[in-house]
């Protein structure tokens, strides 16, 4: 079965997600931004969600992790939790 490892930053608004994405594009460190801004419990691990298989996350999240290019920050992706910036670290 396919698995992937991803990290994300979860914020309340699309505007905040877009502002953080600009910082990342400018060379800001993903883990540091996650620790400072993410609302998810994964924030203390720099947004790292570890390894998981399809179906463990929300569909919108899975679509990014299992279908979009690896090592690229995607988003903002809207879910019931807020807006995510998602980076797939690797996919098996």
What does the pLDDT read at residue 54? 96
Answer yes or no: are the C-beta atoms of 71 and 88 closer than 8 Å: yes
Report residue 35 CA to chain centroid gap. Answer: 13
**Which residues of the chain register pLDDT less than 70?**
none
What does the pLDDT read at residue 3? 97
| pTM of the predicted model over 0.85 | yes
Give 7's strand partners: 48, 87
What does the pLDDT read at residue 1? 82
Q: Per the structure block, which two tokens stand in for 1?
A: 């079965």
∠ CA 92-42-21, nearest 5°, is 80
Q: Indicate the fold that domain 4-91 takes in CATH.
A: Chitinase A; domain 3 (3.10.50)
Q: What are phi and psi of 61, to 5 degrees?
A: -70, -50
Domain ranges of the chain: 4-91
């Amino acid at each position: 079965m396919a698995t992937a490892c991803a990290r994300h930053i979860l914020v309340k608004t699309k505007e905040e997600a877009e502002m953080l994405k600009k910082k990342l594009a400018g060379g800001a460190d993903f883990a540091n931004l996650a620790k400072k801004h993410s609302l998810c419990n994964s924030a203390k691990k720099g947004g790292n969600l570890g390894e998981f298989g399809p179906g463990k996350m929300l569909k919108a999240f899975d679509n990014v992790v299992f279908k979009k290019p690896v090592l690229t920050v995607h988003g903002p992706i809207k879910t019931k939790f807020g807006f995510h910036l998602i980076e797939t670290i690797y996919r098996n």
